[in-house]
Homo-oligomer: A and B are copies of this chain.
Amino acid sequence: MQIGIMGSGLTAQTIGSKLVSLGHEVMLGSREEAKPSTVAWAKEEGGQHALYGTFMNAAAFGEIIFNCTMGSASLAALNQAGVENLSGKVLIDTANPIDRTTDRWTLTVSNTDSLAEQIQRSFPETRVVKTLNTVNANVMVDPAKLLERTHVFVSGNDIEAKAVVVRILRDWFGWKEIIDLGGIETARSVEMYVLLWHNLRNAISSQRFNIKVVTSG
Give CA–CA (A178, B196) in the complex, Å.
Answer: 14
Most buried by B among A180, A182, A211: A211
Report yes or no: B216 in contact with A214, Cβ–Cβ below 8 A. Answer: no
Decide if A111 touches B104 in the complex (CB within 8 Å): no
A106 interfacial by beta-carbon distance below 8 Å: yes
Contact status B180-A147, CB under 8 Å: no
Main SS of the interface on chain A?
mixed
**Interchain residue pairs with CB less than 8 A apart (20):** A104-B185, A106-B112, A107-B111, A110-B192, A146-B214, A148-B214, A153-B196, A179-B203, A179-B204, A180-B203, A181-B200, A189-B198, A190-B196, A192-B192, A192-B193, A204-B213, A206-B215, A208-B215, A209-B213, A211-B213
Interface residues of A (CB under 8 A from B): 104, 106-107, 110-112, 145-148, 150, 153, 179-182, 185-186, 188-190, 192-193, 195-196, 198-200, 202-204, 206, 208-217
